[in-house]
Amino acid sequence: METKPSEMSSSKMFGGYNKRYKHFSPTLGCSMTFHIYFPPSPSPSHRFPVLYWLSGLTCTDENFITKSGAQRVASSEGVALIAPDTSPRGLSIEGEADSWDFGVGAGFYLNATEEKWKNWRMYDYVVKELPQLLNDNFSQLDTSRASVSGHSMGGHGALTIYLKNLDKYKEYDATSLIKKFNDVSGTILIDQGEDDKFLHDQLMPHKFEEACQSAKVPLLLRLQPGYDHSYFFISTFIDDHIRHHAQALNLP
Active site (annotated) includes residue 229? yes
Catalytically annotated residue among 23, 151, 156, 229: 229
Active site (annotated) includes residue 196? yes
Q: What is the pTM of this model?
A: 0.89
Q: For residues 194 and 168, what is the distance between their CA atoms, to the nearest angstrom?
A: 32
Catalytically annotated residue among 85, 173, 191, 196: 196
Q: For residues 121 and 95, what is the distance between their CA atoms, to the nearest angstrom?
A: 17
Beta carbons within 8 Å of 209's beta carbon, 6+ residues apart: 219, 221
Q: For 129, list phi and psi in degrees, rounded to 5.
A: -65, -50
Q: What is the pLDDT of residues 171-212, one digit of tens each?
A: 654 433 354 455 677 788 889 999 999 988 888 788 888 888
Contact 228, 177 (CB under 8 A): no
> 12 in helix, strand or coil?
strand
pLDDT given at position 174? 41
pLDDT given at position 252? 53
Instruction: State the average pLDDT for the chain.
Output: 90
Active site (annotated) includes residue 152? yes
pLDDT given at position 251? 58
Residue 78, CB-side half-sphere exposure with 13 Å CA sphere? 16
Contact 251, 77 (CB under 8 A): yes
pLDDT given at position 175? 34
Query: Between residues 165 and 243, which one has the greater pLDDT?
Result: 243
Domains of the chain: 6-177+238-248 (3.40.50.1820)
Catalytically annotated residue among 151, 152, 191, 244: 152
pLDDT given at position 176? 36
Lowest mean pLDDT among 76-85, 166-175, 204-213, 237-246: 166-175
